Amino acid sequence: MHTNGTSWRLQCTINGQPIDTEVEQDETLLFFLRDRLGLTGTKGSCLEGECGSCTVIVDGQAVNSCLVLCPQMQGRTVETIEGLANGDKLHVLQEKFLASGAAQCGYCTPGLIMAAKALLDENPNPSEQQFFEGMEGNICRCTGYAAICEAIRSAAREWK
């Protein structure tokens, strides 16, 4: 498959919805989600893979959406923070972040929750080491992490 000029016909699934639209070949998934689909829950900050605020899940794995080019998502399944709640019913990670007061400014929260979801989907009972490895790519500059870890741990206890 290849582009027509620099324009690519992207077919993929985002939060369960089929997507079929034209994208530019060097457009990143982050700005496609935010600017074209209005899914502004996914944040951009460092744009170099260091902060984790743009984390989404692609085919079950945590990925930095700022470092993915849209055509690479051909045929892939993307989950963003907007896909977690079921109607008004929040996802257990969202509930626990609220209950633990794990957000302050909140900018890193969607990325943290998506990284945590990928971690717990793969392994609902991670060791300290595995927990650290799964979450080390996500930075929070407000809270000091204790409440965040508590929220993820308590979500893990109820993981289904």
Partner 1 sequence: MFFQPRHVDEALEIRGRMGSDVTPLGGGTDIVVTINKTSMRPKHFLDLTHLPDYTHVVRDNGNWVLSAGATFSQLGKLPMKALAAAAMTVGGAAIRNTGTIAGNLGTASPAGDGCVALMAIDAEVELTHATRGRRTIPIHEYFTGFRRTALLADELITGVRLRTDWRTAWYKIGKRGSINISLVCAAFGMSPEGGVRMAYGCVAPIVMRTRLAEEIIEKDGLTDAAIEAAAQSVMKEVAPIDDHRASANYRRAMCGVLARRLLRELRIKNTG
Report the interface residues with ligand FAD, using CB under 6 A.
48-50
Edge to edge, what strands does the sheet with 55-58 contain? 17-24, 7-14, 77-79, 55-58, 61-64
**Of these, 17, 21, 26, 98, which contacts partner 1 (CB under 8 A)?**
26
DSSP string, 23-58: EETT-BHHHIIIIIS--TTS--SSSSSSS-TTEEEE
Residue whose CB is less far from partner 1, 9 or 89: 9
Q: Does 135 bind partner 1 (CB under 8 A)?
A: yes
SS3 at position 142: coil
83 binds, among ligand FAD, partner 1, none (CB under 5 to 8 A by kind): none
Q: Does 126 bind partner 1 (CB under 8 A)?
A: no
The phi, psi pair for 78, rounded to 5°, reads -110, 135
SS3 at position 135: helix
Q: Does 61 bind partner 1 (CB under 8 A)?
A: yes
The C-alpha atoms of residue 127 and residue 111 are separated, in whole angstroms, by 21
Smallest gap from Cβ 4 to partner 1, in A, equals 9
Binding site for partner 1 (CB under 8 A): 1-3, 5-6, 8, 25-26, 28, 47-50, 52, 55, 61-64, 66-69, 71-72, 74-75, 115, 118-119, 133-138
